[in-house]
Structure 1
Amino acid sequence: MTRMRLPVTALLGANMFFSGVTYAATMPYASLVGVDTLGMSPGWFATVMSTGAICGTFVSLGLGYLSDKLPDRRILVLITALAGILAHGLIYLIPSQASFAIAMGLIMPLAGACYGQSFGYVRVYYVKHRPDRVDFMVTSLRTVFTLAWIVVPPLAGWIAAEYSIFDVYLASSLSYAAMAGIFALLLVEPRAAVQMPPPVRAKGASLLSAFELQPGILAGLAGLIVMVGAMRLLTLSVSLFIVSDLGGTVADVGFYAGITAAVEAPCMLLLAWLTTKLSKETILAAAGLVMALFIGLTSALNSMSALYWLLLLNGLGTAALMSVNIPYIQDAIKGRIGLSTSLMDIVAIAANILGAAGFGILAAGGNYRFALVCAAGLSVLGAIVMAAGNLARLGRLRPQAATG
């Protein structure tokens, strides 16, 4: 009897959608839950988020290194998904400052690596089965992740307004459970067991040579951290800015996130085309300037309706920083997909530290408008760092593959 094959690509697509739900359901509301609902001070909230980010740095590097060594990457994705069930389930079941601090500061560092580990697995799977379509599949699955941001935030905003804001963490916990179920199912599919042979270390080279990064890549990563940090500061501040300064509601926060994601999806198609014309460094530096323009203009607004008109800029900048960054980072350390992909988590974690620290300092007095002005300045700085470290790469056409 012939054994039925599992639809691996469809399952990976579903996994990325549920991964998007875990972020889209909770990220726009984190500061509203911690500060506005649970009564944490901005400084205490920032400390918790920064602690989680610092812990996550070491967790992600460790998992990235292990993923290139272990015979099966699927186990790591499953473990990180289980941690997500626990972390966000704890906030839903026991809504308190203590549970929020434990979940976000101690458990989510492991759960947060699920996103990067999923993309690491995706790249290795298609390198083995469809090497000619690797970049296309990574970009396509990142677009599926974005679809969750189109659908979920408005729905989550409505649920939070009509029922309880803590229900968004229930939705996230259930989504982590779905991801765990998908990878548990993939464990029984022989074709899904993939791994890349690790590169051979040069004779006499130290263990640290596995982590070697070129100066241009280091500058690019630093620029990304600053630009994404500005986005994190925006995310933490804008929901409170909408409610307190623009006269909006929790539902408006959801619509803000959902509309941005709806703009992102077609922008990603444009960016995919642009990567064949311009270097990734050029696109990412330009994205930082676009985000700075959006954040700066937002800080000057006095009405919610005006903000909606600016969301095209937000969607374009966010799409670049959240999609073009993936192939850029995965090529950072040649021959080590897992370790390179873990740098996605490192960039995100470092950006979270920067954004959370900035929020704790700049929003301590409730002046969210000033926090947005500073976020715009940070985005410009990140673009400058990216460009300055890669002057030779700016504007250059991507090398064409040889044909025969």
Structure 2
Amino acid sequence: MTAPKRLPVTALLGANMFFSGVTYAATMPYASVVGVETLGMSPGWFASVMAAGSVLGTLVSLSLGFISDKLPDRRLLVLVTAMAGIVAHGMIYAWPDQWSFALAMALVMPIAGACYSQCFGYVRVYYLKHMPERADFMVTALRTVFTIAWIVVPPLAGWVAAEFSIFNVYLVSSLSYAAIGGIFALLMADKATAAQMPAPVRAEGASLLSSFALPLGTLAGLLGLVVMTAAMRILTFTVPLFIVTDLGGTVADIGYYAGITAAVEAPCMLLLAYLTTRLSKETLLAAAGLVMAAFIGLTSILTSMSAFYWLLILNGLGTAALMSVNISYVQDAIKGRVGLSTSLMDVVAIAANLLGATAFGLLTTSGDYRFALAVGAGVSVLGAAIMAGGNWRRLGGLQAASA
């Protein structure tokens, strides 16, 4: 009897991470342009919608992270979150008005937003079970595939938005969520791809809360990540509008901006993979905050698109660190609880989205996008200071980090 062929799991997970990247790359650069410029939402109304989604998303992400460590098959949660993505971005494409945008982003996308971390949670657990010595490498490698989508998709999405309809980018995202769901449905058909980690055993007499304890340095690091990522959110919301108003660019330029940043980001991730063998994660993340501050601050004083494009080298370097080194940093936060630790990626992202959206709403009420960017640079410096100040003993080489 011929043994059944095993699925090419790594190839499927690579395809999954590419489509996961598409869901972000096709829509994130255009969110503020769709909400404010196209649908006519005020900056305050747009910020309120994004902030509401962030609050709900925090609760959803923590709940799903806790549940994922309890379920016998964590792949089911990827299917649920992918379905939410199909619905949310499908709503915006099918009914392009302020209320469908508000309902999708505030109520449905908080569930879909957890798809990213649930995918990485499964990746980490699967490779810890089958190839534990390569688990960290595979997480980094698959995050690079995610970045490839950011290289390819934004310029294409910008062209589609400029030539046809900007709402088509949400159709692309909805179909990508469908592809993610299809890949995990296929994986669930093969029992060999099931993966879960046993819950850690609590010490005798220890409380339940002890299983979730975070050292003060880790708490400071997570707070620093929230603040630095909030600065990136201010950038994300503000730069598209800054490009089309202050710099005289077009919707297509927004796509080029995102694509060029990702093209720089990909090789920078390889550099960072090497640096993680020499320097502590805290050092790299704090440095990334300063690099992002330099980029955002310099952007705020620009007057031409050509100068802006040259600065994207800084953006790619800083983004590479904050979006790759942070994964392994966060997944190690709560020992033995990969699902709950990975959900902290969503908590960081959602808290940052809340802060960034609120700041965007307050800072751009008068239409002064330069001032908003200048404040964003200061926020990034603050985040780097929190990361470094809370972990000053860990700064420098790996020997110092383990001391």
Please confirm whether the aligned pair reaches a TM-score higher than 0.5, indicating the same fold. yes
Measure, in 2, the Cα distance between the counterparts of 1:400 and 1:323.
19
**Comparing 102-111 with 185-194, which one deviates more in the overlay?**
185-194
Q: Determine the structure 1 residue equivalent to 2:253.
A: 252
User: What TM-score, normalized to structure 2?
Assistant: 0.98
Unaligned segments of structure 1, at least 5 residues:
none
Asked whether the equivalents of residues 91 and 100 of structure 1 are also in contact (C-alpha less than 8 Å), the reply is yes
Task: Please tell me whether residue 33 in structure 1 is matched to residue 34 in structure 2.
Answer: yes
The equivalences for 1:1-80 within 5 A come to 1-80=2-81
User: Which AA in structure 1 matches 2:62?
Assistant: L
The equivalences for 1:213-252 within 5 A come to 213-252=214-253
Asked whether the equivalents of residues 276 and 398 of structure 1 are also in contact (C-alpha less than 8 Å), the reply is no
- The alignment partner of 1:310 has SS state of helix
How many corresponding residue pairs?
401
- Extract structure 1 runs of 4+ deviating beyond 4 A: 398-401
Q: Determine the structure 2 residue equivalent to 1:267.
A: 268
Q: Determine the structure 1 residue equivalent to 2:107.
A: 106
| 1:98-119 residue CA offsets vs partner (Å, 9 max, x unmatched) | 1001000000000000000000
Structure 1 residue 203: Cα displacement: 2.6
What is the CA RMSD across the aligned residues, in angstroms?
1.1
User: Which AA in structure 2 matches 1:190?
Assistant: K
Measure, in 1, the Cα distance between the counterparts of 2:309 and 2:401.
39
Measure, in 2, the Cα distance between the counterparts of 1:365 and 1:400.
45
Q: Determine the structure 2 residue equivalent to 1:366.
A: 367
Measure, in 2, the Cα distance between the counterparts of 1:139 and 1:192.
20
- The alignment partner of 2:398 has SS state of coil
Measure, in 2, the Cα distance between the counterparts of 1:213 and 1:354.
22
User: Which AA in structure 1 matches 2:397?
Assistant: R
The equivalences for 1:2-401 within 5 A come to 2-397=3-398
Cα gap change, 1:48 to 1:11, in 2 (>3 Å): same
Identity %: 75
Measure, in 2, the Cα distance between the counterparts of 1:334 and 1:113.
21
Structure 1 residue 208: Cα displacement: 2.0
| 1:205-254 residue CA offsets vs partner (Å, 9 max, x unmatched) | 22222221100000000000000000000000000000000000000000
Measure, in 1, the Cα distance between the counterparts of 2:76 and 2:259.
32
Measure, in 1, the Cα distance between the counterparts of 2:22 and 2:330.
23
Measure, in 1, the Cα distance between the counterparts of 2:106 and 2:52.
5
Asked whether the equivalents of residues 19 and 175 of structure 1 are also in contact (C-alpha less than 8 Å), the reply is yes
Structure 1 residue 398: Cα displacement: 5.2
User: What TM-score, normalized to structure 1?
Assistant: 0.98
User: Which AA in structure 1 matches 2:282?
Assistant: E
Measure, in 1, the Cα distance between the counterparts of 2:325 and 2:84.
28
Measure, in 1, the Cα distance between the counterparts of 2:371 and 2:391.
31
Cα gap change, 1:308 to 1:120, in 2 (>3 Å): same
Measure, in 1, the Cα distance between the counterparts of 2:376 and 2:111.
27
| 1:146-191 residue CA offsets vs partner (Å, 9 max, x unmatched) | 0000000000000000000000000000000000000000001122
Measure, in 1, the Cα distance between the counterparts of 2:193 and 2:171.
29
Asked whether the equivalents of residues 88 and 170 of structure 1 are also in contact (C-alpha less than 8 Å), the reply is yes
User: Which AA in structure 2 matches 1:291?
Assistant: M
